[in-house]
A and B are shown apart, each in its own frame.
Chain A
């Protein structure tokens, strides 16, 4: 009987964790020496390996409609580190711009 009950308990525990995630207190990310997204209008980050180096970068869009990228630094495991933000460029060499209204 106990063998049947234990999996059920384990399942219930996993569900409880999924229902109530626990996060560490939030910290502001940095890109180089600057805070990532500071003073952008409604910064919207997305994790994506933009430069194809196998490390996931942070691409940041904003209300204005432009994109920047903070490449993931090649740092030791642990706290994530990012290089300074640069503009995401379009095929014409200009900044990719969704040219808001």
Chain B
């Protein structure tokens, strides 16, 4: 989730709007007593706003709908980020929805009025420079920022990238608002933070690598916009030289890990092979019984794997993965040529 402080219900108090992983935007209304219990933001049909994928609280399973797809834009999008913003300049707050599964951004037009929203039932793709926005590495979060100081709200997106260090990581871009000052329109993106290669070797992390959630502000008070970025960092300590025996042992341990994984898959296959034609609840019950019957096998594999990994980690430093919040200090002011705040 990425919280946005905004007066969503136009009562003069700031509220918190946030897209969360269940696939819908939520609202915690601000009041003189404090923040109220978060609620789902609903469309004018009274249903929770979603793109496609959502957690179904009734069935307690992941679900999907295509009821709100714009023609030609059917997909399997999953909204985990949202922004309240008056896209069409009609005086009320529309909703931007970021797709966690792709780089697409959609919006729900508000046909209501301030404090009385009536969100349209179509997820319209947001375009920039004539094509749908496509955030490299899928959308993690979105923010509004007047990056170029022209008085209009630009759209910034941070991306996920390979969350566990797999492949390229995330980056941050801003799409300048090239609209007329009333109706928003976005131009070609400016890259603020390039995607990480997730290949840092050193004793400490060097940058935010995956799942980049950013915000903007003049943190150091020098008159320009700095970036705060929450994310996972991936790094590996510098490897120490191994002698021949150590190298041989490391190779053997890596093979042992693969063997453990193969044994695990074999036991799992045997569990599944015994399910036969059972279906529904009966299948679930049988699966649980068969899985539990093999617990000792799973446990033994786990013990072997853990021991091999622990010994290997002493020879070959493992990849580290930790989350932090980072500050990118903008040097523009120091160069006396800042994009104004």
Contact = CB atoms under 8 A, between A and B. Distances in A.
Contacts, number: 171
A23 B21 contact: no
Counting chain B residues whose Cβ lies within 8 A of the other chain, the interface size class is: 35 or more
B217 A47 contact: yes
A38 B231 CA distance: 9
A42 B322 CA distance: 10
Interface string A13-56: 11001110111111111000001111111111111100000001
A92 B38 CA distance: 12
Given A24-B329, A61-B1, A88-B35, A18 B339 contact: yes
Given A65-B1, A98-B18, A100-B22, A47 B323 contact: no
A77 interface: yes
Interface string B216-228: 1101110000111
Given A17-B339, A27-B327, A29-B326, A91 B18 contact: no
Contacts of A99: 38
B231 to A, nearest CB: 8
A96 B95 CA distance: 22
Contacts of A18: 147-148, 190, 339
B278 to A, nearest CB: 28
Interface residues of A, number: 52
Given A61-B1, A91-B36, A99-B38, A17 B332 contact: yes
A91 B326 contact: no
A100 B54 CA distance: 11
Given A26-B326, A44-B141, A65 B36 contact: no
A54 B338 CA distance: 24
Nearest to A50: B5
A100 B151 CA distance: 35
Contacts of A91: 31, 33-36
Contact of B228 (A47, A61, A67): A47
Interface string B172-202: 0000000000000000001011000000000
Contacts of B36: 90-91
A44 B332 CA distance: 25
Contacts of A80: 219-220, 327
A75 B147 CA distance: 27
A28 to B, nearest CB: 5
Interface in B200-234: 205-208, 211, 213-217, 219-221, 226-232
A91 B26 CA distance: 17
Choose among B140, B328, B330 the residue with the greatest number of A CB atoms under 10 Å from its CB: B328
Given A26-B229, A37-B230, A21 B330 contact: yes
A42 B230 contact: yes
Interface in B30-57: 31, 33-38, 55, 57
B262 interface: no
A12 B131 CA distance: 26
Which 6 A-B pairs have CB atoms at the shortest separation, nearest pair first?
Answer: A91-B34, A44-B213, A43-B230, A101-B55, A101-B22, A37-B325
12 contacts: A18-B147, A18-B339, A23-B192, A23-B329, A26-B326, A26-B328, A29-B327, A45-B228, A48-B5, A89-B35, A96-B16, A98-B20
Interface of A: 13-14, 17-19, 21-29, 35-48, 56, 58-63, 65, 67, 77-80, 88-92, 96-101
